[in-house]
Structure 1
Amino acid sequence: MREPTDDRRLRAGTLIRLPDEADAVIVVDAVPTADGIAVHVRDGRTAHDSKTRTVHLSRSEFDLLEFASSPDSNADSAADPISNPVLNRPHEEPTRHWYIHDDDHVSTGQIIHGRRLSTAAVVMPKMRSSQMRLQVGADPSLQNVLVNRIRDEVARWRRAGYPGASTATRQLIAHWHDETHEPRLFFAQVEAVETLIYLTEADAGRTPALADIRHELSQANDEYNVGIERLAVRMATGTGKTAVMGMVIAWHALNAAATRRRDSRWTTSFLAIAPGHTVRERLAVLDPAHHDSIYPPARPSSRGRRRRTRRCEAAGAELPSIPAA
């Protein structure tokens, strides 16, 4: 009998068929248990449009698994991730990614359909013989399970039309998704703020997974910062972090104005911390009084928008204090 934890095929991205199930599922990760293995899987073949669940398998049940394919069999023909690394449009949710080999953590030049799962991996170029290849600096099989779960729930919440979000928030989201927006926002920027909104505004009664997610986040905050709950979005250099900061500020300030500061979820005081004078100067555009402010001027065509603008001004939003560390 095979040892479940020794089977190299049960890796993230592998398609399997579970006992008594007709449709294949995609493996997220697998954790050994005392009497078998716990497999976290997603329904379907895509990484973003499916629900994550945990299946507990005994050793005998593990032996009955049918491996529908390895990640390689769901890939496009070989390509070059160095000379042509970009697979997705920046304004749309990713639908493809480069496959990183399980054993040596080096790119294979194969394209996998579906969004890459969040992992504890840092991708970097590295010479291999006479060819340049991508290599990750950590085990790509180490999934950020909670991050992936939140990402899935946010996508589901988005498709449902943002239930529980305030009117001001819905109007902001519609503005951010506007394809005529100049400059047009990246998908990653909008998703980052949507995630914070989901965790703050979504109705746990209508989205059952949210209660569990909030509980896990609260436990994590208690572990590192007792009494101080913090949420962070992690974004790479060049992905538009300053714009995201402005989006978060606008989200809070407009909702605070709309509720006349009666809702403790919203604030009108903001603090931006910069690592030095150069970054501090770049963040000056977060001040609405700056000549290059990132906030668009209010359009006079909407009477409702003018009212919200006046309310925001009446709220006295303090935007922002920016010390240099």
Structure 2
Amino acid sequence: MTTPKSLIINSPYACPQQHWRKVAQSSSTSPKLEQTDSRRRASYEIFDTRNNTSREVELPLVNQIRERVDAWHTAGYPGITSITRSLLEHWHDSDARQYPFYFCQLEAIETLIWWVEALPDYKQGIAIEGDGGAWERLCSKMATGTGKTTVMAMLITWQVLNALAFPKRHKEFSSNILIIAPGLTVKERLQVLQPGATDNYYDAFSLCPNASLRHKLNQMEVLIENWHSLMPLKEPKRSVQKKGAENDEAFTRRVLGKLASKRGLLVINDEAHHAYRKPAELKISKAQAAEQGI
């Protein structure tokens, strides 16, 4: 593969305008990189280890959502609340903080806001598949180092301030936040999402347009837990008192504490690639994977 002088061809603060595309040569030579004047379509590559080839599979839903969010952004965010508009204007103001937000951070939070607040016309025909449960599950996929924790802080700010300003819209906004961490180290790092923490991200990144809104943000209820706390309790084998299996109500009280009695809950799952597992009937063996070259 031909190696370019630099792989960096876009600014992190603007929508990508170019990307590198692999161009196949003859079967005996490696592909070369060709610079293309457009944003890369959302997709993933599948590598075939049998003959050292790869194929690209597009993600049509992601690309469709990108187009809708872009149109909604260009139109001036029709449908959003006054609180949300104030936040978006503040977050896009590069002079409001030492370092502007990356484009990917702003696109991520705008996409989540679009799904909740945009007028129906901008979401017509879009269906996000769930997992069959009662909770709606949305995923914001961002690369390592692009500021996911900051986006989580922006998400919390948007949700909490709107929940306090519009209490009747409890199906859309919540000031009760449960954050699930993938491990104890990450759980400790996520303490920056506590509004009272010394190094909290709400102040560090100036997420609130004014002191009044920042003060209101302190009214949130936020609980940060490691995913192990979601495991059902095991009954002690040598216990004299047999309590039986933990029921749903006891589980909820144990995990959520005072959040258990709250109305409405926003759950943020950090490192969410751990949250989805293929059903057993869809899994394949190592031998089958080798046969398919994956």
CA distance in 1, matches of 2:70, 2:197: 34
Contact 2:19 2:36 in 1 (8 A): yes
Q: Does the alignment pair 1:88 with 2:10?
A: yes
Larger relative contact order, structure 1 or 2 (CA cutoff 8 Å, min sep 6): 2
1:177 is matched with which residue?
92
Secondary structure of 1:272 counterpart:
strand
What letter is aligned with 1:237? T
CA distance in 2, matches of 1:107, 1:171: 48
Contact 1:99 1:107 in 2 (8 A): no
Cα deviation, residue 298, structure 1: 11
CA distance in 1, matches of 2:59, 2:204: 39
2:224 is matched with which residue?
321
CA distance in 2, matches of 1:243, 1:201: 21
CA distance in 2, matches of 1:229, 1:272: 16
Q: Does the alignment pair 1:212 with 2:128?
A: no
Gaps of 5+ in 2: 229-294
Cα deviation, residue 262, structure 1: 4.3
Cα deviation, residue 225, structure 1: 2.6
Contact 1:280 1:324 in 2 (8 A): no
State the Cα deviation string for residues 28-59 of structure 1 (Å, max 9, x = none): xxxxxxxxxxxxxxxxxxxxxxxxxxxxxxxx
Aligned match for 1:254, one of 161, 171, 178: 161
Aligned match for 2:172, one of 255, 261, 265: 265
CA distance in 2, matches of 1:282, 1:155: 32
Secondary structure of 1:120 counterpart:
strand
Gaps of 5+ in 1: 1-77, 124-134
What letter is aligned with 2:3? D
The correspondence of residues 58-207 of structure 1 with structure 2, limited to 5 A, is: 80-81=3-4, 83-101=5-23, 108-121=32-45, 138-140=54-56, 142-180=57-95, 181-205=97-121, 207=122
Higher deviation after alignment, 95-104 or 240-249: 95-104
What letter is aligned with 2:221? E
CA distance in 2, matches of 1:176, 1:298: 9
TM-score under structure 2 normalisation?
Answer: 0.67
Contact 2:87 2:158 in 1 (8 A): yes
Secondary structure of 1:292 counterpart:
coil
When residues 317 and 191 of structure 1 are mapped into structure 2, their CA distance, relative to the original with a 3 A threshold, is same
When residues 324 and 179 of structure 1 are mapped into structure 2, their CA distance, relative to the original with a 3 A threshold, is same
- Count of equivalent residues: 219
CA distance in 2, matches of 1:272, 1:187: 24
Identity of aligned residues (%): 34
When residues 282 and 167 of structure 1 are mapped into structure 2, their CA distance, relative to the original with a 3 A threshold, is same
Cα deviation, residue 185, structure 1: 0.8
Secondary structure of 1:121 counterpart:
strand
When residues 92 and 79 of structure 1 are mapped into structure 2, their CA distance, relative to the original with a 3 A threshold, is farther
1:26 is matched with which residue?
none
Contact 2:43 2:59 in 1 (8 A): yes
Which structure features the higher share of strand residues?
Answer: 1
